[in-house]
Amino acid sequence: MTPAITLKKLSFSYNGVSVISDINIQFNNQEMVSIVGPNGAGKTTLLKLIGGLLTPSQGTICALGKRIDTLNSKDKARLISIVPQNPRLPDKMKVVDFVMLGRNPHLALLEWEGENDLNKAVKSMELTETYVLAERELGQISGGELQRAMLAMAITQNSPIMLLDEPTSNLDLSHQGKVMDLIKNDHRQRVGATLIAIHDLTLAAQYTDRMILISEGRIFADGTPEMVLTESNIEQAYGAKVTILPHPSGGSPVILPVSGEYPRTE
Amino acid sequence: MLFITLVMIALGCTNSKEPQKPLPSEPASAPIETISTTKPPILPAPAAPALPAPTATIRADIPGKSSATNKRLFSKHIERAKEQPKLFAEFPVSIPDRYGKEIIFDEAPERIIAFDSAAIETLFAIGEGHRVIGTHDYVIYPPEASDVMRVGDAFNMDIEAVLNLEPDLVYLFYPTYKDQLEDAGLKVLLIETIEDDFKKMADHFRMWGAITGAVNNSESIAEDFEARVEIIETALAPFESGPSVFQDVGSFWTPGNDTLVGNVFEVLKLVNIASEVKGYAQISPEVIVERNPQYIISSYGDIFSTDPAFAEVLAIKNRAVFVPNEDYLSVSGPRFILGVEEMAKLIYPGIFK
Amino acid sequence: MQQDIDNKSEKAYVVNLSFPWIRTAFCLLAAFICCILAALIGSVTIAPDAAIAITFTRLPFIEIKNDWPVSWNIILWELRYPRIALAMLVGAALSVSGATYQGLFRNPLADPYLIGVASGAALGATIVFLSGIPSVIAGISILPIAAFIGGIGAVTAAYTLARRSTGTPLTTLILAGVAIGSFTTAVASILMLRSDPDLRPILSWLMGGFIRAQWSQSLYLLPYLILGFTVVFTYSRILNAMQLEEEYASSVGVNVEKTKKILILTATVITAAAVSFSGLIGFVGLVAPHTARLIWGSDFRNLIPMSALLGGCFLVLSDLVARTIVSPGELPVGIITSLVGAPFFIYLLVKNRSNIQ
């Protein structure tokens, strides 16, 4: 079976500085993968490369067997949908109009949205519990609601591969779990791969079956969260000491940073 | 809404004539033909006016030989002046400037910078052009003045050049640089341009005669000017009013009655259809059509005769649209009267030959 | 999840996709009234019943007894109506172009002159005025052509300056437009300073006006407007998508660079064509799209046609004021649009203080 995403000898430099070096990896359909690593390691860059938003300096990216540099914008969008981190959004746009933008890859230039498209958008909004916000403006809803609206738009796009860049970073505790649940639910319904760049290691370990640890533009570790998240790996990649405990429900690794010099209790 | 616009355009174009020239760029090469025999009935049958005795007959010199003709004109004055009893230059001379301040001349200035075309033309006309050492960029007459140095214009004066020339008199018609020049130690004479009564130009000629000592020549020119004006006024005295006129100085800008041109119209007993305008203003073409002038004077080319909007206006129907060859009326100097006479001849050919 | 979909018992909100007919009909009516007013009011007073008769008598199958002065017929059909038509078209053109730029640059302060069209057109016109080139060659009027070439040329220069191998960043394009605009303005100013001091005809043209609008001008402008409007309207859904950041828009399948090229080209051509007949009239391209946005929201499928409508009416009304308020004189129409537009612009600035990206 054709793998969902294949990266071969992928490198990317910016202003002479190498950000991604020589990545070779393959993701299969129905894999939900988290990409973790310290700030500046190259997570966002990797996602943008896979999504075709950046051109690699070297190497190739294939999505469902097709090289993405040979695809035009629309065909690319039909294969891959992206939920970016903190994009600037038009304040006055209604949530429903925003979500319906996800139908763009399926519409011809002269075609306008119809009943069918609206229904798909409504369905996505219901899935993400944003239907109540449909008539509200993007500038008027909260961070958590915005994240779900962006997810709704990506779902409406109906592409087999979905890339998410830090979908939980701006959310408070109550919403983090909820959004990850929604992502996982949607993932199960799609036939394709989901890649999530995320910095919350515990959350990533809870929800994803495969984890890639990036450090300094290279793949440091690749495997199940239990395999990847070892105290040694984390110390080498992050330069930080941690303690790892099994999660009370489920047993996935819980990462506890070891405090520095002045913790509150000895 | 656009559909209605389209319908309007379709209807409008069914009867419209060819597209018209947008805005004028250069004057036409010759004036349009004079009036046809169907003369407007406003003037009663003219009584033959007695031509007053003195000097020149009305001669509206047709341009083409202008400079030669004018030179003949001026040299004629100077010859005649030799025959007249001599006037004597009297110094010191005191000239009140625009603010009433008296400017004293103990002797004729030798190095004059004049930022005024009228002053230049006057000085050369009275034979004192050799005193002029500097002037502004837009002087075009007389030809002898082309050797005079240009030092900017009244609104963009090249102060350094002016100071460099070490003039003993700077003549201005606009106050912008007056204080600056006086602070630099120069003698400044600021006289306002004539806006209301063009007959005052004769006094300006005399003024320059007094300043330079060429009182005979200046008196001669002034008298000639006044005489020619009197001829016109006398010839038109029997008549209450003349035909209606519209003057276009570009894009429907027109002078009101309180301008110099408006004053000329008054003297020529012409009814300015834009009389209520203050100064110069852009007038609506609708108003022109409604007020139906009998004559149109168009300074920058005839945009009226081929324009379907003006097809029914008397001036166009009678082919009475004039494009003056040279803008005599733009300089308040010795040639101004030529412009007045040209207009008089064109509008009253029966009276002025 | 399947159960959730089937169990939606109550919809909290009903999503409304239908076109706002009532608002639109109301504005069409207001526009119609606008044009009627402009037709009936002018420096020369024409009795309304005569005006109506004069208008309808042109229709092929209607005959009305002719008992009005000939001048009235001419005033309406040769002076006033061509003016209203041209003002409507120019207003529509500037507004469509303004709305497009506001959408492309994602900036509510963008207007059709943003990247140099106005200065380029002014330079072209100034050169024709001052060079002594006859204003009509072989029956074709040169001034609009020169203004058009100037406008397109300036924007092309700005676009070429701003272009990178990866695409054309919009902020760079604005800066390039400002630079080119300043340069062309400087050249035009120098030309004016070095020439004959009677600059009234040039300044009249630059300030914009319809004082001697012709039917032929509307005819020439119409194809540009129709073509341009069609292109922009077709792209209006894409323009909606372009309200996202460029990368985000690209990820939903918008070909961002191609869209930018097409829309900038179209908006520039529309603006250059309009300006070449009317001179530089400001604020229309700013006021009309914003007013349309207040009434119909930010969806460009509504905004584009409704801006055109509102802009046309705004200009027709401004021209009406310009040609009657100092009767028998006229004011340049740009003064009226500025008097209305400047306070509006300030209001926009204050309102958007926190929102400008």
Query: What is the pLDDT, as a whole number, of residue A266?
Result: 58
Interval B141-145 mean pLDDT = 85
Confidence of residue B17 (pLDDT cuts 50, 70, 90): very low
Question: What pLDDT is recorded for position A240?
Answer: 86
Q: Are C121 and C261 in contact (CB under 8 A)?
A: no
Q: At residue B71, does pLDDT exceed 60? A: no
Question: How many angstroms separate the CA atoms of B205 and B126, rounded?
Answer: 8
| C241–A contact, CB cutoff 8 A | yes
Please count the other Cβ atoms lying within 10 Å of the Cβ belonging to residue C45. 12
Cα distances (Å, whole numbers) of residue A19 to A199, A221, B86, B192: 18, 17, 101, 76
pLDDT band, very low/low/confident/very high, at C12 (cuts 50, 70, 90): very low
| pLDDT band, very low/low/confident/very high, at C14 (cuts 50, 70, 90) | low
Look at B86 and C215; give whichever has higher pLDDT.
C215
Query: C245 vs A48: CB contact, 8 Å cut-off?
Result: no
Question: How many Cβ atoms are within 10 Å of B304's Cβ, its own excluded?
Answer: 22
Matching residue, tokens 């054709």: A2
Residue A231 CB contacts under 8 Å (≥ 6 apart), including other chains: A241, A242, A243, A244
Task: Please name each of the domains of chain B with its CATH number.
Answer: 21-46+239-347 (3.40.50.1980), 78-226 (3.40.50.1980)
| ipTM beyond cut 0.85 | yes
Identify the pLDDT of residue B74.
53
DSSP notation for A18-71:
EEEEEEEEEE-TT-EEEEE-STTSSHHHHHHHHTTSS--SEEEEEETTEEGGGS
Average pLDDT rounded to a whole number, residues C69-95? 91
- Asked if B140 has any chain C CB less than 8 Å from its own CB, the reply is no
- Please name every residue paired with A246 in a beta bridge, in sequence order, or none if there are none: A253
Q: What is the mean pLDDT of residues B196-211?
A: 89
Domain that holds residue C304: 31-351
**pLDDT of C9:** 36
pTM of the model: 0.81
Contacts of range C54-59, beta carbons closer than 8 Å, 24 or more positions apart = C58/B11, C58/B14, C58/B15, C59/B11
pLDDT for A138 equals 93
Provide, as residue numbers in chain C, all residues whose Cβ is less than 8 Å from the Cβ of A53.
247, 250-251
Residue type, position B41, single letter: P
Nearest-neighbour CA in chain C from B180: distance (Å): 22
Mean pLDDT lowest among A111-125, B3-17, C152-166, C236-250? B3-17
Mean pLDDT computed over every residue of chain C: 85
**Phi and psi for C89 in degrees, rounded to 5?**
-70, -45
Buried/exposed code over C219-241 (b: 16+ C-beta within 10 A; e: otherwise): bbbbebbeebbebbbebbbbbbb
Instruction: Give the single-character DSSP code of C164.
Output: B
Taking CB atoms and an 8 Å limit, are B1 and C31 in contact across chains?
A: yes
For residues C50 and C83, which has the higher predicted lDDT (pLDDT)?
C83
Residue C8 lies in a domain: no
Sheet holding B271-272, edge to edge: B271-272, B244-248, B295-298, B321-322
Interface mutation target, options B254, B282, B288, B291, chain C, most CBs of C under 10 Å: B282
Question: What is the predicted pLDDT for the residue at A163?
Answer: 96
Total number of domains constituting chain C: 1
Look-up of token digits 């300044």:
C203
Contact A211, A34 (CB under 8 A): yes
Which of A72-76, B144-148, C197-201, C341-345 shows the lowest mean pLDDT across its residues?
Answer: C197-201
d(CA C269, CA C272): 5
Q: Nearest CA to CA, how far is C330 from chain B (Å)?
A: 6
More confident position, B55 or B218: B218
pLDDT of residue C71: 84
Residues B49 and B353: their CA atoms lie apart, in Å, by 13
Q: Which of C13, C293, C299 sits opposite A134 (nearest CB)?
A: C13
Residue spans of alpha helices (H) in chain A: 43-50, 73-79, 95-100, 115-127, 143-157, 173-189, 201-207, 225-228, 231-238
**Given an 8 Å threshold on Cβ–Cβ distance, is C12 in contact with A132?**
yes
What is the pLDDT, as a whole number, of residue B139? Answer: 84
| Predicted local distance difference test score (pLDDT) of residue B90 | 80
State the average pLDDT over residues A197-213: 93
- Mean pLDDT over A128-142 rounds to 91
- CA–CA separation, B124 vs B118, rounded Å? 10
Q: Mind telling me how many Å the CA of C114 is from chain A's nearest CA?
A: 21
- List chains adjacent to chain B, taking adjacency as at least 3 C-beta pairs closer than 8 Å: C
What is the Cα–Cα distance from B353 to C23, expressed in whole angstroms? 70
pLDDT score, position C327: 83
The answer on pLDDT for B87 being more than 80 is no
Domains of chain A by range and CATH? 5-257 (3.40.50.300)
Distance of CA C186 to the CA centre of its chain: 25
Q: How far apart are CA C168 and CA C165, in angstroms?
A: 8
How does DSSP classify residue B147? G
Omega before residue B142 within 30° of 0, cis: yes
Exposed e or buried b for every residue in B93-109, given b needs 16+ CB within 10 A?
A: beeebeeeeebebeebb
Mean pLDDT calculated for residue range C21-35: 86
pLDDT at position B4, please? 45
Domain at C201, CATH number:
1.10.3470.10
For residue B87, give how far its alpha carbon lies from the nearest alpha carbon of chain C (Å): 39
* Other beta carbons less than 10 A from residue C48's beta carbon: 12
pLDDT band at B268 (very low <50, low <70, confident <90, very high): very high
- Average of pLDDT values for C5-23? 55
Partner residue opposite A110 with nearest CB, options C234, C241, C256: C234
> What pLDDT is stored for residue C180 in this prediction?
92
Residue with the bigger pLDDT between A4 and C244: it is C244
Cis peptide upstream of residue C328 (ω within 30 degrees of 0): yes
Distance CA C129, CA C119 (A): 15
Mean of the per-residue pLDDT values of chain B: 76
Q: What is the dihedral of CA A83, A89, A90, A95, to 10 degrees?
A: 40
Residue B72 has pLDDT above 90, yes or no: no
**Rounded mean pLDDT of C286-307?**
90
- C354 confidence band (pLDDT: 50, 70, 90): low
- DSSP, residue by residue, C199-262: -HHHHHHHH---TT--HHHHHHHHHHHHHHHHHHHHTHHHHHHTTS-HHHHHHTT--HHHHHHH
Cα C278 to Cα C39, C204, C210: the distances in Å are 19, 10, 6
Q: Is the confidence at residue A150, as pLDDT, over 50? A: yes
pLDDT 10s digits, A51-72: 999 999 999 999 988 899 899 9
- Which site among B4, B7, B9 would you substitute to test the C interface, given the most C Cβ atoms closer than 10 Å to its Cβ? B9
The count of C-alpha atoms lying within 13 angstroms of the C-alpha of A199, restricted to the half-sphere facing its C-beta, is 14
What does the pLDDT read at residue C295?
85
Residue B44 — very low, low, confident or very high, per pLDDT cuts 50/70/90? very low
Tell me the sheet residues that pair with B157: B152
Indicate whether C256 belongs to any domain: yes
Q: Is the pLDDT of residue B24 over 50?
A: no
Is the distance from CB of C222 to CB of C92 less than 8 angstroms?
no
List pLDDT tens digits, range C213-248: 889 889 989 999 999 999 999 999 999 999 999 999
Strands B156-157, B169-172: pairing is unpaired
C-alpha distances out from residue B348 to B193, B270, B323, C42, Å: 29, 11, 16, 35
End-to-end CA distance of chain B: 58
- For the cut 60, the answer to whether the pLDDT of residue B77 exceeds it is no
For chain A, what is the mean pLDDT? 90
B308-338 tens-digit pLDDT: 889 889 999 988 898 887 778 888 889 999 9
In sequence order, the 6+-apart residues with CB closer than 8 A to the CB of A249 are none
**Residues A77, C251: C-beta atoms closer than 8 Å:** yes
Q: Is A72 helix (H, G, I), strand (E, B) or coil?
A: coil
**Predicted local confidence at residue B239, as pLDDT:** 87
**B283 interfacial to chain C (CB closer than 8 Å):** yes
**Amino acid identity, position C211:** I
pLDDT at residue B271 in the model: 94
> Which DSSP state fits A88?
-
Residue C55 DSSP SS3 = helix
